[in-house]
Structure 1
Amino acid sequence: MRRLLAAGSALLSSTLVLSPAAAQAAAPKPGTVTSVTPLPANLWLPGTGSAQRVTYTTTGPDGKAAPSTGAVFVPKGTPPRGGWPVLSWTHGTVGIGDACAPSTAGRSERDITYLTKWMAQGYAIVASDYAGLGTPGVHPYLDGKTAAYSAVDMVRAARGLNRSLASKWVVIGQSQGGQAALFTANLATRYAPELDFRGAVATGPPSNLEGIVSLAGPYIPKLPLADLTGYTAYILAGLKAARPGLGVDGYLTPLGRQVVKDAETLCYADMVKRTEGIGIGQLLARPLFDAKFFDQLRSVMQVPVKGYDRPFYIAQGMVDTTVPIPLTLKLVADLKANRQPVTFKAYPGAGHSENMAASLPDTTRFVAALFTR
């Protein structure tokens, strides 16, 4: 009897333990909504008829299911036949700490003004916070694929909540979100073939940074750009989250390790203050120029230059000091050399933020045409 009970117990135990593959298969599908609450009225965009904050399942940097949060803004009025066309907004740098998530922290006046003009054109706006930003774990900053998955799954989640949203959608993003928009444009039809992806707009998207960052080392002097060290700390913290096996801390000084740790919680304005007077070289104990570091950095950040199957628009300010135009010109040259469906325009006198408003007349026409084809 004792042997029979032991055997039965072993059998029961074996049936309750899922293999890693089975556990992953049992995870909610990407885009599954796990919670929903009304979005506080002070966080609504002007012209919003209803708004919700959602938590949903997406794909993390390790390829496994991960939670993300975001907001859904549905315009006032009656939806057009077929439903409201959807704009998936991918936001720029706000920080990588949970307190920085736009669906709870709110949005800048710049972004509110910009998005309000899109909503006035008759688009429902869905806006991911990105995986790790407001959810467990550290946000893998500038991990393009992970941000793209969050943007696509935000559309899935929003359509699961609201039947007035169409399957037709585009992605639009600024700065960090511009990079996310390009990655989204590159993988959307493969990752979510059930949706009707039409194309993308990227304003001020960072690109070719992997080559610049990998040149850094202790020899880099202090440079007269107030936010450069903060951005670098975000990149290194994001790389740690995306590629934990790389051993980023081994490249850092004690000060660098502390600054990168602080980057995991401080939002943008506080991060700029935290790094005031600190040069990039002071963060680094040794050069980043080695094959292992570069390969891992490239696997996270490098914007694809082929494989796009929908039209996309890149807008670049000519006096942008955050994303200098030579980096974008190199990206566009590579895209055109590979015959990708890109439209590019540079805007004289426009800086990083001003580029959004400067390009808006052109991009609204571009997006409207995507929905009529």
Structure 2
Amino acid sequence: MCPAVAVAEPVPGAVMSVEPLPAELSVPGAVVAERLTYRTQWRSGVAAVGTGVLFLPPGEAPDGGWPVVSWAHGTVGIGDDCAPSRNRRIERERRYLAHWLSQGYAVVAADYPGLGTEGLHTYLDGPTAANSIVDVVRAARAAEPSLSQRWVVVGQSQGGHAALHTARRATARAPELDFRGAVATGAPSNLELLFPFGVPGFPDLDLDGLVSFSAYIMAGLRAARPDLDVNSYLTPVGRDLVDAAEYLCYGDLEDRAADVDVGQLLSRPLGDDRMRAALADYLGVPTRGYDRPLFVGQGLRDRMVPAPLSFKLVADLWAGGADVDYRTYPDDHFATLFAALPDTTPFVAARFVR
């Protein structure tokens, strides 16, 4: 008999491939644009493959290398065709990433596991997204020696949620790097407290994207927790929409959901003990254990992520001892991204002073 041979677990951040990114998929101001395929992990610790991009600014790297902004993207969908590294980024995101390049940062951007790689992207699964956001920094440094160990995470919307999770685990996950802090704007939070109120016939709350976001959440939860039998909570209309959410990107899902009210999705309440516990585990944002400064920005006219959700989040973060710079803006969900730049730009610069 042959002796058993130990097989090493894939190392998170290990580079599997590097390829030039087509020019139409790059962003203004990037003199290098590459697509990375790398090793990462699901929240369970099971090995996963991630993809992402690396953008470099012009000029020579400063002493110590280019400081790194790890960008956490907002909602695009959960199907492979929705992966940001496979598509031209929307103009808003192109302008935003160009800003950070113009400030002298290298920008890396994870797609999140399941977007363009094996498995379904588990939407708003913060720990899994955070793993990929940390590991794309590792991969980028392995692929590009001019990058510094020093880095921050910046995220908007879904990416704001992911940025907070990243900030909670970055130092412990990658002690060989030098994590400095996080920016999160328009970050959904406390959803685990709201979803259990969902019942059949729940009224329309006049929130932008609510039906589509709910479908993505239920699709992700269904994939992450098959033991819950998520389909048993859904009407035929709900099951059809959640099935479609697995492959339709956000704009197409919005079109598909245009005539569906959120109350049409559910066949029974989401408030039983088992579902409440699952939602808390799946959707919750940690409020303790942060070891680096946070910037949290919120639009007061945000109709996707209402401001009161962030009020409670920040109160809980402060109570938990986090160093949080909290700012509000008289703007909607997307305008807040740019309204906050006069504050987020010096916040990020200050993280790299020492």
Q: TM-score range by the shorter chain?
A: over 0.9
Q: Indicate which of 275, 291, 307 corresponds to 2:289.
A: 307
Percent of aligned pairs with the same amino acid: 55
Deviations 1:193-237, CA, capped at 9 Å, x for gaps: 110000000011000011111111113134444521111000101
- 2-side partners of 1:42 and 1:243: how far apart? 38
- 2:171 counterpart residue number: 189
- 1:294 counterpart residue number: 276
TM-aligned CA deviation for residue 145 of structure 1: 0.6
- 1-side partners of 2:318 and 2:66: how far apart? 33
Q: Does 2:38 correspond to 1:49?
A: no
Q: Does 2:334 correspond to 1:353?
A: yes
- 2-side partners of 1:206 and 1:173: how far apart? 11
Q: Does 2:257 correspond to 1:275?
A: yes
- 1-side partners of 2:198 and 2:244: how far apart? 20
Give the length in aligned residue pairs. 354
Root-mean-square deviation (Å): 1.2
Q: How does 1:26-65 map to 2 (within 5 A)?
A: 26-65=8-47
- 1:6 counterpart residue number: none
- CA contact 1:347–1:355 (8 Å) conserved in 2: yes
- CA contact 1:214–1:288 (8 Å) conserved in 2: yes
- CA contact 2:192–2:284 (8 Å) conserved in 1: yes
Query: TM-score scaled to structure 2, two decimals?
Result: 0.98
- CA contact 2:159–2:187 (8 Å) conserved in 1: yes
- 2-side partners of 1:106 and 1:238: how far apart? 24
Q: Does 2:201 correspond to 1:238?
A: no
- 2-side partners of 1:140 and 1:359: how far apart? 28
Q: How does 1:1-373 map to 2 (within 5 A)?
A: 11-12=1-2, 15=4, 26-225=8-207, 227-348=209-330, 350-373=331-354
Q: What amino acid sits opposite 2:83 in the alignment?
A: A
116-125 or 239-248, larger mean C-alpha shift: 239-248
- CA contact 1:86–1:168 (8 Å) conserved in 2: yes
TM-aligned CA deviation for residue 105 of structure 1: 1.3
**Which SS does the other structure have where 1:48 is aligned?**
coil
**Which SS does the other structure have where 1:15 is aligned?**
coil
- 2-side partners of 1:45 and 1:209: how far apart? 33
**Which SS does the other structure have where 1:202 is aligned?**
strand
Higher helix fraction: Structure 1 or Structure 2? 1
Give the gaps of 5 or more residues in structure 1: 1-10, 17-21
TM-aligned CA deviation for residue 106 of structure 1: 2.1
TM-aligned CA deviation for residue 89 of structure 1: 0.1
TM-aligned CA deviation for residue 46 of structure 1: 1.1
Q: What amino acid sits opposite 1:357 in the alignment?
A: F
